[in-house]
Amino acid sequence: MVKRRRAFEQGHHRKYLVVIDEVPEVEAALYFTASRIGHTGGHIVLLYVIQPPEFHQWMGVQRAHVDEQTIKARALFRLHRRKLNLAGFEQITTEEVIREGEKAAAIVKLIEEDEDIAILVLGASTDPKGPGPLVSSLATGKLAGTFPIPIVIVPGNLTVDDLKAMA
């Protein structure tokens, strides 16, 4: 059973979840979310998921992989915070979360844990091969009909000005 969202109850506030990685469409999702929050209020939760390596490794090598990915996540958080500030979104509050595991499962688990997360915002790839693996697995895959919160898919080709006008 899906936990009830509590974003509008006393002592709570609505959070938008944006998954951060190195694909360019993340910016569209981030700018749309910031614009939307500017109109309606809320906070952004930036999630970076450290995915397990392709092959089984020794524990020391695995720990080094996690440490390296954690440093990368923090650098991406700083980069995207600077981009938000440069685009005029200095007032938007962000929360940074780093998780380990398979991306879709980590997203669902975070949503289950944080009852204030009310909307997941994903950027769709402009690649002719499709919208990207995350959009495909969450919005059109087996979870689509049972996902615990609404998913907003933002076209990756929109400019900051386009996104500000739409949100």
**76-89 pLDDT, tens per residue?**
999 999 999 999 99
CATH code at position 27: 3.40.50.620
**26-58 pLDDT, tens per residue?**
999 999 999 999 999 999 999 999 998 766 666
Lowest mean pLDDT among 15-29, 65-79, 86-100, 125-139: 125-139
Which DSSP helix (H) or strand (E) runs through 46? strand 43-50
- Identify the domain containing residue 93 by its residue range: 15-166
Question: How confident is the prediction for the chain on average, in pLDDT?
Answer: 88
- Structural domain count, the chain: 1
> How far is it, in rounded angstroms, from Cα 149 to Cα 113?
13
Share of the chain above pLDDT 90, in %: 61
103 part of a folded domain: yes
